[in-house]
């Protein structure tokens, strides 16, 4: 039987130190690498808190990507905050992990922005992966924002929320996925979307997430503070590029098994686009898994269902 491992460390990746968290009950198990959303939003505390049981069946690994919380630094060159660099970082980390644990492949889970990174990665390096799981899969940037905006507009009109309607109209419709006042308008739209259930379904606030931060070593109060500042700087650096993504055209085929995990109430990365894409996508195996009681964070809103899915479906079907 393999060893137990439970580490927090800084590893030099892409020329800068990045914070990597690894936890496993048995290193004979395969690696599961999780990529957080944002960009800039480390989800390590929530992953450990909600999906920590996966350490029984995987070498559960996540990292704060460049610019995010424990990997944030003023020394990071701004020109490196681009999709290709993040793909290179992830690939380098995978190589390090494979060598450390003597593995040939890994499982990759990407959430939201991490799902953009995931799709780019598995297309470029398919031989590195047993399977890919896209949680809150982002597919088409400009359509993502159009549908999200129109959904919350409809909800506000139905509710007769005049104050909310004025806020949304002041934000204005996105042009090619971009709001007129950039990040501030994006956050304002997401706050309204949150109010009308398009971000979280199980909870009506972020307290469950904040508590995970406060009680996780290496994060706590300072982690919460860094989270919000890093989210702004990372999004401002890379959001325009994310909005140019259109996987329906760019990546019509993938050579490994693909699973999309979508919350039925998700209008942050609207599920309708992911459903359209996976129906068209060519892959040796593909499946869209609905989480009926979730919005944008299905692995945290329904953790037991997600953990079971990873072990009894994804791993069982593809780990050979």
Q: Is the confidence at residue 234, as pLDDT, over 80? A: yes
Residue 60 pLDDT: 98
Q: Is residue 206 part of a domain?
A: no
- pLDDT over 90 at 223, yes or no: no
Q: What is the pLDDT of residue 204?
A: 94
DSSP assignment string, 61-72: EEE--TTSGGG-
Range of the domain at 190: 144-195
Does residue 125 surpass a pLDDT of 90? yes
* Whether residue 270 has pLDDT greater than 80: yes
Q: Assess whether 256 and 304 both reside in one domain.
A: yes
Q: Residue 171 — very low, low, confident or very high, per pLDDT cuts 50/70/90?
A: very high
Does residue 138 register a pLDDT over 90? yes
- pLDDT of 300 higher than 80: yes
Mean pLDDT on 229-242: 93
Distance in angstroms (rounded) separating the CA atoms of residues 98 and 309: 24
Whether residue 150 is found in the same domain as residue 278:
no
Task: Tell me what pLDDT residue 228 has.
Answer: 84
Band of pLDDT at residue 144, cut at 50, 70 and 90: very high
* Mean pLDDT rounded to a whole number for the chain: 96
In a domain, residue 267? The reply is yes
Q: In this structure, are 39 and 129 located in the same domain?
A: yes
Lowest-confidence pick of 16-30, 34-48, 123-137, 227-241:
227-241
Task: Say if residue 253 is in the same domain as residue 275.
Answer: yes
The domain that holds 114 is classified in CATH as 3.40.50.1820
* pLDDT band at residue 265 under the 50/70/90 scheme: very high
The neighbour count for residue 252, using CB atoms within 10 Å, is 11
Q: Based on the domain organization, do 128 and 249 belong to the same domain?
A: yes
Domain assignment present for 61: yes
**How many other CB atoms are found less than 10 A from the CB of residue 185?**
16
Residue 210 lies in a domain: no
pTM of the model: 0.97
Give yes or no: residues 250 and 129 share one domain.
yes
Of 136-140, 227-231, 238-242, 272-276, the least confident: 227-231
Residues of the chain with pLDDT > 90, as a percent, come to 94
77 burial via Cβ count (<10 Å: 0-12, 13-18, 19+)? exposed
129 and 36 part of one domain: yes
Q: How far apart are CA 27 and CA 33, in angstroms?
A: 14
Q: What is the pLDDT of residue 202?
A: 94
């Amino acid at each position: 039987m393999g060893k137990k491992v439970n580490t927090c460390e800084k590893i030099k990746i892409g020329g800068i130190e990045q914070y990597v968290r690894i936890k496993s009950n048995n290193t004979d198990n395969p690696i599961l690498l999780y990529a957080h959303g944002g960009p800039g939003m480390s989800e390590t505390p929530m992953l450990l808190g909600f999906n920590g049981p996966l350490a029984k069946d995987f070498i559960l690994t996540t990292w704060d990507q460049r610019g995010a919380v424990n990997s944030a630094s003023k020394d990071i060159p701004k020109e490196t905050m681009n999709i290709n660099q993040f793909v290179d970082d992830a690939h380098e980390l995978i190589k390090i992990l494979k060598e450390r644990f003597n593995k040939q492949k890994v499982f990759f889970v990407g959430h939201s922005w991490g799902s953009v990174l995931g799709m780019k990665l598995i297309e470029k390096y398919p031989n590195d992966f047993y399977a890919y799981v896209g949680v809150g899969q982002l597919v088409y940037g400009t359509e993502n924002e159009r549908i999200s905006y129109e959904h919350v507009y409809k909800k506000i009109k139905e509710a007769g929320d005049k104050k909310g309607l004025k806020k949304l109209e002041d934000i204005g419709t996105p042009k090619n996925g971009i709001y007129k006042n950039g990040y501030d308008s994006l956050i304002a739209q997401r706050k309204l979307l949150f109010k009308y259930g398009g971000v979280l379904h199980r909870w009506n606030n972020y307290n469950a997430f904040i508590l995970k931060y406060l009680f996780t070593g290496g994060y706590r109060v300072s982690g919460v503070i860094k989270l919000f500042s890093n989210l702004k700087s990372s999004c401002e650096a890379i959001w325009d590029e994310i909005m140019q993504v259109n996987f329906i055209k760019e990546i019509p085929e993938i050579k490994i098994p693909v699973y999309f995990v979508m919350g039925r109430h998700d209008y942050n990365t609207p599920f309708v686009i992911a459903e359209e894409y996976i129906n068209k996508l060519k892959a040796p195996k593909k499946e869209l898994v609905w989480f009926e009681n979730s919005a944008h964070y299905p692995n945290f809103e329904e953790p037991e269902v997600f953990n079971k899915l990873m072990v009894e479906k994804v791993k069982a079907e593809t780990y050979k």
